[in-house]
Amino acid sequence: MKGLFDSTIGALNNNLNLRLQEQNVIAGNIANADTPGYKAKALDFEQAMRSALNPETNLRLEGEPGDIGSPGPAEVKAEIYDDPNGVESLDGNTVDRGQEMVKMKENQILYNASIEALRKKLGMLEYGINEGGGNK
């Protein structure tokens, strides 16, 4: 049986999860902007999203054996690493608070765009269920 939701909804779900992870990494950088020796962290969003969209590495079975459903997306985790682009200050910290604030705003805009795309996709599904074809 094919699942109710298509791959677009799964991709948007993965995108939202990765955006949340990225927001947490950025927030951690900002919180540690004054911590001596702290190295700014970065998240490999693009690689994680590519991996999430690859059906061979992304599927797992959900629910109990015998449940009606289809394989669903596995939880997506991105690699978090020390950002090699950081410029070290006198105390060894590599966080640029201004740059991190810009990254946070950009990530928030992209998160909101993904929410809007998901809202529209679910709206089309709802329309198809309530108003679409078939005799009433």
Contact 91, 36 (CB under 8 A): yes
Own/partner pairs, 98-106, CB within 8 angstroms, 24+ separation? 100/26, 100/29, 100/30, 100/33, 100/40, 101/30, 103/26, 104/23, 104/26, 104/27, 104/30
Q: Which residue has the higher pLDDT, 124 or 59?
A: 124
45/52 Cα distance (integer angstroms): 10
pLDDT, residue 134, reads 56
Q: Which residue has the higher pLDDT, 13 or 63?
A: 13
Q: What is the mean pLDDT of residues 119-133?
A: 84
Q: Could you report the per-residue pLDDT of 92-113, keeping only the tens digit for each? A: 999 999 999 999 999 999 999 9
Q: Could you report the per-residue pLDDT of 67-87, keeping only the tens digit for each? A: 444 444 556 788 999 999 889
Which pTM does this prediction carry? 0.76
- Name the token pair of 5: 């939701």
* Residue 61 predicted with pLDDT over 70: no
